[in-house]
């Protein structure tokens, strides 16, 4: 039974992802984003628990990857689809992110632009498949991890909902901004850049000094400026990794 505990935690990540898909398809991107964040919590701890209990397994690795594909691959792609869809609506018809079943609003001849969000799903699948066979990624990541990319995208509905301003609305619903974010994030997922892993193998401070400092700064930023901090945290993560490499 002990060896199944990490798999159960991974299953909770997968459950959060499945529920997030239901909400994002209905148009409730805020609840979907919160479910994804809950999934990240479980994803953070499943590997750590497996190592602490000494029950790592090949099955657990594959299950973790499959759960990540749902929570951090399908969900952000569908979310970008919905964001791009709303960005093309006239402002007077655009609502917030409550459940509106926006997928039913499409008709033949619709714009292809929202489907560009699916690039994130494809890029995430490629990144996760490559991760499973890349021996260089045992202690570091090569390319932006899917949870970090998902956090970046899911922060947009949360920023709009809880920290609204006319300027932020213009940015979040600018389809050129969303297209650029889709392309850049898809490229970063598979870029040949080394980023430090945020998964702990132990609680030892010396062995995890960079992780502890980064998490402390991230928590301080979120407390200070709330959800707006998330995009800056992702940028800080990339910059800190590149500086650490040099």
Residue 223, pLDDT score: 94
Residue 99's pLDDT band (boundaries 50, 70, 90)?
low
Please tell me the distance from the alpha carbon of residue 50 to that of residue 112, in angstroms, as a whole number.
43
Q: Taking 50 as the threshold, does the pLDDT of residue 115 lie above it?
A: yes
Establish if 79 belongs to a structural domain: yes
Rounded to the nearest 10 degrees, how much is the dihedral formed by the CA atoms of 108, 113, 114, 116? 120
- Residue-averaged pLDDT of the chain: 87
Per-residue DSSP letter, 109: T
Establish if 159 belongs to a structural domain: yes
Establish if 127 belongs to a structural domain: yes
- pLDDT per residue over 24-50, tens digit each? 999 999 999 999 999 999 998 887 787
Q: Are 204 and 212 in contact (CB under 8 A)?
A: no
Report the pLDDT averaged over residues 199-220.
78
Establish if 105 belongs to a structural domain: no
Q: Taking 60 as the threshold, does the pLDDT of residue 155 lie above it?
A: yes
Task: Check which CATH number belongs to the domain holding 195 and give it.
Answer: 1.20.120.1760
Residue 110's pLDDT band (boundaries 50, 70, 90)?
low
Establish if 102 belongs to a structural domain: no
Establish if 173 belongs to a structural domain: yes
Q: Taking 70 as the threshold, does the pLDDT of residue 77 lie above it?
A: yes
Establish if 162 belongs to a structural domain: yes
> Within 13 A of 83's CA, how many CA atoms are on the CB side?
34
Q: Taking 70 as the threshold, does the pLDDT of residue 202 lie above it?
A: no
Give the chain's domain count. Answer: 1
Residue 106, pLDDT score: 47
Question: Could you tell me the residue range of the domain that residue 160 belongs to?
Answer: 2-94+111-245
- Among 15-19, 125-129, 176-180, 209-213, name the one with the lowest average pLDDT: 209-213
Report the pLDDT averaged over residues 41-60.
82
Establish if 144 belongs to a structural domain: yes
| More confident: 57 or 94 | 57
Residue 23, pLDDT score: 96
Q: Are 213 and 135 in contact (CB under 8 A)?
A: no
Residue 52, pLDDT score: 77
| CB-based contacts of 201, cutoff 8 Å, min separation 6 | 48, 51, 207, 208
Burial 73-100 (b: 16+ CB within 10 A, else e): bbbbbbbbbbbbbbbeeeeeeeeebeee
| More confident: 134 or 190 | 190
Which long-range contacts does 13-18 make (Cβ < 8 Å, 24+ apart)?
A: 13/39, 13/40, 13/42, 13/43, 13/46, 13/64, 13/67, 13/68, 13/71, 14/39, 14/66, 14/67, 14/70, 14/71, 16/42, 16/71, 17/67, 17/70, 17/71, 17/72, 17/74, 17/75, 18/70
| CB-based contacts of 69, cutoff 8 Å, min separation 6 | 124, 125, 128, 146
| More confident: 161 or 206 | 161
Residue 107's pLDDT band (boundaries 50, 70, 90)?
very low
């Amino acid at each position: 039974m002990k060896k199944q505990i990490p798999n159960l935690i991974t299953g909770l990540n997968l459950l959060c992802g499945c529920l997030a898909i239901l909400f994002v398809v209905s148009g409730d991107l805020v609840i979907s984003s919160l479910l994804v964040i809950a999934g990240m919590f479980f994803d953070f701890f499943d590997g750590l628990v497996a190592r602490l209990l000494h029950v790592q397994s090949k099955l657990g690795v594959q299950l973790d990857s499959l759960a990540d594909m749902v929570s951090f691959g399908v969900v952000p792609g569908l979310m970008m689809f919905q964001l791009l869809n709303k960005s093309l609506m006239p402002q007077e018809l655009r609502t917030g992110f409550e459940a509106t079943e926006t997928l039913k609003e499409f008709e033949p001849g619709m714009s292809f632009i929202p489907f560009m969000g699916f690039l994130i799903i494809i890029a995430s699948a490629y990144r996760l498949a490559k991760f499973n066979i890349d021996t260089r990624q045992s202690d570091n990541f090569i390319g932006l991890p899917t949870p970090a990319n998902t956090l970046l995208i899911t922060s947009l509905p949360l920023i709009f909902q809880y920290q609204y301003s006319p300027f932020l609305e213009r940015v979040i619903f600018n389809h050129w901004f969303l297209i650029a974010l889709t392309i850049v994030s898809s490229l970063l997922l598979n870029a040949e850049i080394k980023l430090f892993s945020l998964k702990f193998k132990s609680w030892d401070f010396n062995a995890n000094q960079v992780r502890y400092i980064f998490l402390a700064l991230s928590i301080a930023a979120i407390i200070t400026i709330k959800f707006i901090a998330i995009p800056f945290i992702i940028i800080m993560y990339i910059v800190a990794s590149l500086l650490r490499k040099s």
